Structure 1
């Protein structure tokens, strides 16, 4: 099993290109199931999760081709052979559940295994099911599979979600594009990935308004056509690499970054003593002066502080001046990186959904183990600022969400290498 060796090496300087958004691309790919005509995505990230979604779509009979070194994905669902998403593929990745809404909308039936992915909380499917049932679907759980049908087709409805779930919003919006009549989805998630999905669906002929707000209205149409769409910049990769010069010092420009994607996160960095400025090509990040200051963080749905940047922010707070409190309100099991940071000399106490971090002068390199996708990169960031060598094992998690991590960090002066396993 591969590992990553990081050696603390001082300030970082240069440019890092930011890829297309993993979470957006994984949502856009199932949209091909809504139409017989081709859907082409550009600026696609080159990640193992994208390969998993490709395998899932191909198992349904879709044609999926990777072009231009993986940055273009060409898809066609004109001749699907199955409406069943098997456990063997779905278990690998949570986003696999996003085939449920499109299959149900286009074919009136779908059988989808309960999903897997990172072990960071229950993340149940009930919000997806409730929304689709509001559109007239009949869904039951049997032997670990959701069996869904809509014999007379889906019908528009007014539905208010109990929680602003990103995945449920995406599934319901995609399903509603082909429903009869108008759907009004209240307490919808507002993330940029949803805005990106709606822009793509609109190119395919969908009639949708209100994306980016808590109420989305969808007027169902009879059919959708093909389109070409550019995947939005990955705001989580962007935020992750913004933390690199914050932790290590130096000045790094993130190419393709936009402030609108990370405003609440950038505000926290500013409060901690880190400067974030817009440039012609992206965002430039540097410490203002000396050691960063402790700041408190509460994870919230967009536009609040992203849960997917909490682990990385904790790495920064480990060497901040003062004590910070990080409260996790999205996922109930997302502090598994804390004990690994403690192995590196961090002072962290976890009580339920709250972590209290008292900054130390310096972290020490140590062997650590990645427990999930974002935890893995938080340990790499910590290693960049630590004295000595840090070996991060189980980095297969990393490949699900970050392309060319070693290459990108090496490009700004980090001392980092990937060690091939047995």
Structure 2
């Protein structure tokens, strides 16, 4: 019988011990791009985004829009979207399961068409991330909601103005509420809103479309328009990619210049890097230099909503603490299931103890290469970082998680002097 070779998911093969040096440009923000793409559903006019990263999640968002009848063209970091001929209001389960941000079609569909049917959202398995806050705002605005056969059915005759205080600070909840209220001409008030840079980038887009939005602390006052304009918008830089590459430069004892960053968005991360011993220089409005001398001081880190330390950088900083000179503590206050990378780091020799929402990390002289498995987007980035500083070779599997949120990460790291090979795993099927 002839052997037939097929392929499982790709993996990374990483050779550790390389010092990173050089320049790298930061891509546009995934978490800003996705809600802005969904905002195109609010208007019949064309919408143009630039500085869009080439990522799996962006491709999924395009697939979702095209399924509903939108015309979406992608070329050279630009996305042109027209939804004039939208023919459906269903976000199907097979697409929504790939990406939790798919729930963001609900707000704009209800605002413009008065109906939306959305599969229960999927994405990374880092916690419950319930969508009850989204639905409560929709109900306050007059929507009728039911769940049937795994789909959320929503319908509203006319969106009413809303005054609502979020029970918890939620990024996608705030974004969905803003889009839902953006075509209501009467004044709405949202309290305890998220203020992440990605949320504020959506606010800028909605303003370009004709929505009046005032921000006072954690309160937003929204006055929409019955007809909204199209827009042209350059997506903000990805602060999480910037932080990840800054950590990579520091922990390898390297010397890395990050270009195309927004300093305001990564200030908290840079302060923690300095605390750990990094030399950080501001070279211009959008350029920083990060250097390390091989010594890493222990840290105490607590994740908080913006402007606090981002939960999306927790795993990367944990890798740094694994080889720090002393004992570190990291407390995760945002998601209850975001320590899944701990088991994989322990395979590499990390000494980490978990108690509730706090991880105590006992710094070791070195990590050792091993075969490890990604469990979510940021965990996969942390395992790549661990591979960069481990002795020997590391295999990082299930890197499709990484491809959801990092554009050409291995290429960027290799250009800085890393040794990472993307391998398609062949198997013999007989």
TM (normalized to structure 2)? 0.95
Is 1:270 the equivalent of 2:274? yes
Shift of 1:290: 4.1
Partners of 2:378 and 2:37 in 1: CA distance: 22
Task: Return the match for 1:202 from 185, 202, 207.
Answer: 207
Q: Gaps spanning 5+ residues in structure 2: where? A: 1-8
Given that 1:344 and 1:363 are in contact with CA atoms closer than 8 Å, whether structure 2 keeps it comes out as yes
Shift of 1:187: 0.4
Q: Show the counterpart of 1:82.
A: 88
Q: Show the counterpart of 2:39.
A: 31
Given that 1:177 and 1:206 are in contact with CA atoms closer than 8 Å, whether structure 2 keeps it comes out as yes
- Report the 3-state secondary structure (helix = DSSP H, G, I; strand = E; otherwise coil) of the residue aligned with 2:173: helix
Given that 1:3 and 1:391 are in contact with CA atoms closer than 8 Å, whether structure 2 keeps it comes out as yes
Task: Return the match for 1:370 from 368, 374, 378.
Answer: 374
Alpha-carbon deviations, 1:43-89, whole Å to 9, x = none?
00000111101010111111101112xx0000001011001111011
Q: Show the counterpart of 1:297.
A: 301
Partners of 1:80 and 1:120 in 2: CA distance: 33
Shift of 1:396: 0.9
1:252-331 equivalences under 5 Å are: 252-280=256-284, 281-287=286-292, 289-331=293-335
1:23-422 equivalences under 5 Å are: 23-68=31-76, 71-151=77-157, 153-210=158-215, 213-280=217-284, 281-287=286-292, 289-422=293-426
Given that 1:38 and 1:76 are in contact with CA atoms closer than 8 Å, whether structure 2 keeps it comes out as yes
Given that 1:154 and 1:180 are in contact with CA atoms closer than 8 Å, whether structure 2 keeps it comes out as no
Partners of 1:220 and 1:200 in 2: CA distance: 13
Partners of 1:265 and 1:406 in 2: CA distance: 22
Shift of 1:276: 2.2
Is 1:10 the equivalent of 2:10? no
Shift of 1:132: 1.6
Shift of 1:415: 1.3
Partners of 1:404 and 1:54 in 2: CA distance: 19
Shift of 1:10: 3.1
- Report the 3-state secondary structure (helix = DSSP H, G, I; strand = E; otherwise coil) of the residue aligned with 1:324: strand
Alpha-carbon deviations, 1:236-268, whole Å to 9, x = none?
111110101121011101111122111111111
Given that 2:118 and 2:153 are in contact with CA atoms closer than 8 Å, whether structure 1 keeps it comes out as yes
Shift of 1:275: 2.3
Partners of 2:350 and 2:424 in 1: CA distance: 28
**Count of residue pairs brought into register by the alignment:** 417
Given that 2:16 and 2:388 are in contact with CA atoms closer than 8 Å, whether structure 1 keeps it comes out as yes
Q: Is the deviation greater in 254-263 or in 334-343?
A: 254-263
Shift of 1:387: 0.8
Partners of 1:23 and 1:276 in 2: CA distance: 26
Given that 2:252 and 2:294 are in contact with CA atoms closer than 8 Å, whether structure 1 keeps it comes out as no
Q: Gaps spanning 5+ residues in structure 1: where? A: none
Partners of 1:105 and 1:403 in 2: CA distance: 32
Given that 1:258 and 1:283 are in contact with CA atoms closer than 8 Å, whether structure 2 keeps it comes out as no
Shift of 1:9: 2.9
- Report the 3-state secondary structure (helix = DSSP H, G, I; strand = E; otherwise coil) of the residue aligned with 2:391: coil
- Report the 3-state secondary structure (helix = DSSP H, G, I; strand = E; otherwise coil) of the residue aligned with 1:174: helix
Shift of 1:277: 2.3
Given that 2:300 and 2:329 are in contact with CA atoms closer than 8 Å, whether structure 1 keeps it comes out as yes
Given that 2:210 and 2:224 are in contact with CA atoms closer than 8 Å, whether structure 1 keeps it comes out as no
Given that 2:98 and 2:123 are in contact with CA atoms closer than 8 Å, whether structure 1 keeps it comes out as yes
Partners of 2:385 and 2:23 in 1: CA distance: 17
Shift of 1:113: 1.0
Given that 2:45 and 2:229 are in contact with CA atoms closer than 8 Å, whether structure 1 keeps it comes out as yes
Partners of 1:241 and 1:134 in 2: CA distance: 42
- Report the 3-state secondary structure (helix = DSSP H, G, I; strand = E; otherwise coil) of the residue aligned with 1:380: helix
- Report the 3-state secondary structure (helix = DSSP H, G, I; strand = E; otherwise coil) of the residue aligned with 1:300: coil
- Report the 3-state secondary structure (helix = DSSP H, G, I; strand = E; otherwise coil) of the residue aligned with 1:110: strand
- Report the 3-state secondary structure (helix = DSSP H, G, I; strand = E; otherwise coil) of the residue aligned with 1:270: helix
Q: Is the deviation greater in 296-305 or in 270-279?
A: 270-279
Q: Is the deviation greater in 24-33 or in 131-140?
A: 131-140
Given that 1:155 and 1:180 are in contact with CA atoms closer than 8 Å, whether structure 2 keeps it comes out as no
Partners of 2:36 and 2:72 in 1: CA distance: 13
Is 1:20 the equivalent of 2:28? yes
Given that 2:190 and 2:221 are in contact with CA atoms closer than 8 Å, whether structure 1 keeps it comes out as yes
